[in-house]
């Protein structure tokens, strides 16, 4: 019988955290790990996540009317075959989500090119509350940074988050909110964050292009945004969607299948 302790595959290490929290073995067909082996693997995962420096790819954001690039979103890329979401799930499970987000912000600040429009970077409310976040964002000399929050994240009270958002704006960094619906909770989030930019989740953008009841809801939502001077970006779209999104009220688009930008 082979009693050798299984060694983690660094490329797929983030995926292993799912197995650590279930009754399944790490590798199908292998005996479930002992408590000692699980502790060792957790320590290895902790080290791997905390030491990993991601690379950053930028997906362009294009103004619909002018067909010119006005900015981009920083998308983290990690080594190995595990997905970006698996890396973040692992970091969250190990209490390292803020550390991983801080590393991504560092890469964005280090590699941002001045004069290419704004660059948005996803930051959770927990990371925004970290005292290291504002100095790091402020170190992007001359770059137009946008901090992007998502409605999937739990939002702390206004008294906690609002001063940090105000301080970020005072440092010349703008705020974006990524939304997946037009419900009342989204209106609450917009009132809380007072964003400069609103980004529509890909399924929401697709629903607007398809028409139906979402189009009417979108027009009302966009009307609210325009009254407050909010720039609207539809995400996950293609060239053929531009006219309908523009008619609905979107200012710009972001998508891998765009031939412009």
What average pLDDT does range 243-261 have in this prediction?
85
| Per-residue pLDDT, 170 | 93
Buried b / exposed e along 207-224 (16+ C-beta atoms within 10 A): bbbeeeebbebbeebbeb
- Cα 30 to Cα 28: distance, rounded to the nearest angstrom: 6
DSSP secondary structure letters along the chain: ---PPPPP-GGGHHHHHHHHTSSS-SSTTSPPPPHHHHHHHHHHHHHHHHH---EEEEEEEEETTT--EEEEEEEEE-SSSS-HHHHHHHHHHTT-HHHHHHHHHHHHHHHPPTTS-EEEEE--HHHHTSTTHHHHHHTSTT--EEEEEETTS----HHHHHHHHHHHHHTT-EEEEEES--SHHHHHHHHHH--SEEEE-HHHHHHHHH-SHHHHHHHHHHHHHHHTT-EEEEES--GGGHHHHHHHT--EEE-TT-S--
Could you read off the pLDDT of 47-99 as tens digits, one per residue? Answer: 888 888 889 998 999 999 999 999 999 999 988 778 888 888 888 888 889 99
Domains in the chain, ordered, with CATH?
A: 10-48 (no CATH), 53-254 (3.20.20.450)
Residue 235 has pLDDT above 90, yes or no: yes
User: pLDDT band for position 9 (50/70/90)?
Assistant: very low
Residue 2 has pLDDT above 80, yes or no: no
| Per-residue pLDDT, 152 | 62
- What is the share, in percent, of the chain residues with pLDDT greater than 70? 82
Could you read off the pLDDT of 156-194 as tens digits, one per residue? Answer: 666 788 898 999 999 999 999 998 888 767 777 787 788
| Per-residue pLDDT, 232 | 95
What average pLDDT does range 113-136 have in this prediction?
87
Question: What is the reported pTM?
Answer: 0.81
What average pLDDT does range 202-216 have in this prediction?
84
| Per-residue pLDDT, 16 | 56
Look at strands 69-77 and 118-122 and give their pairing. parallel
Residue 31 has pLDDT above 80, yes or no: no
């Amino acid at each position: 019988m082979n009693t050798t302790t299984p060694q983690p595959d660094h490329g797929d290490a983030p995926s292993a955290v799912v197995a650590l929290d279930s009754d399944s073995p790490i590798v199908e067909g292998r005996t479930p790990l002992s408590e000692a082996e699980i502790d060792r693997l957790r320590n290895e995962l902790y080290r791997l996540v905390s030491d990993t420096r991601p690379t950053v790819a930028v997906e362009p954001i294009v103004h619909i009317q002018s067909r010119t690039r006005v900015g981009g979103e920083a998308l983290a890329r990690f080594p190995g075959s595990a997905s970006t979401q698996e890396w973040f799930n692992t970091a969250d499970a190990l209490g390292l989500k803020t550390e991983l987000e801080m590393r991504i912000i560092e890469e964005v600040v280090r590699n941002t090119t001045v004069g290419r429009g704004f660059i948005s970077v996803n930051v959770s409310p927990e990371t925004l509350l970290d005292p290291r976040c504002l100095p790091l964002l402020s170190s992007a000399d001359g770059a137009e940074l946008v901090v992007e929050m998502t409605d999937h994240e739990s939002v702390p009270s206004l008294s906690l988050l609002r001063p940090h958002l105000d301080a970020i704006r005072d440092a010349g960094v703008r705020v974006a909110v990524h939304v997946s619906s037009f419900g009342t909770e989204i209106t609450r989030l917009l009132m809380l964050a007072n964003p400069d930019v609103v980004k529509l989740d890909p399924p929401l953008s697709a629903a607007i292009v398809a028409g139906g009841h979402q189009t009417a809801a979108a027009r009302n939502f966009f009307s609210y945004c325009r009254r407050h001077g909010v720039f609207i970006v539809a995400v996950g779209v293609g060239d053929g969607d531009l006219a309908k999104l523009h008619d609905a009220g979107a200012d710009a688009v972001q998508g891998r299948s765009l031939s412009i930008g």
